[in-house]
Amino acid sequence: MALDITLIKSFVETNLGHVHKTQHVADQLNCPLDKLKKSFYRSEKLTLSRFIRESRIARMKEQLAQSDSLCKVICIDLGIREDVGARLFRNATGMTMEEFRKMYRRSISGIWRREARNQANMDSGPHLVLTAKAVQHAITSTRRGSSKPSATQLEGITIQGHAN
Task: Write out the chain's pLDDT in tens, 164 residues.
Answer: 678 999 999 999 999 999 989 999 999 999 999 999 999 999 999 999 999 999 999 999 999 999 999 999 999 999 999 999 999 999 999 999 999 999 888 887 776 666 666 666 665 555 555 566 666 666 665 555 555 555 554 555 554 444 44
Beta bridge partners of 158: 129
Report how far residue 45's alpha carbon sits from residue 90's, in angstroms, rounded to the nearest whole number. Answer: 24
Q: Taking the complete model, does pTM exceed 0.95, yes or no?
A: no
Q: Any idea of the CA torsion for 40, 42, 45, 50, to the nearest 10 degrees?
A: 30
In the chain the domains, ranked by start, together with CATH numbers, are: 5-115 (1.10.10.60), 125-160 (no CATH)
- 8 within 8 A of 42, measured Cβ to Cβ: no
Q: pLDDT of 116-134, one tens digit each?
A: 666 666 655 555 555 666 6
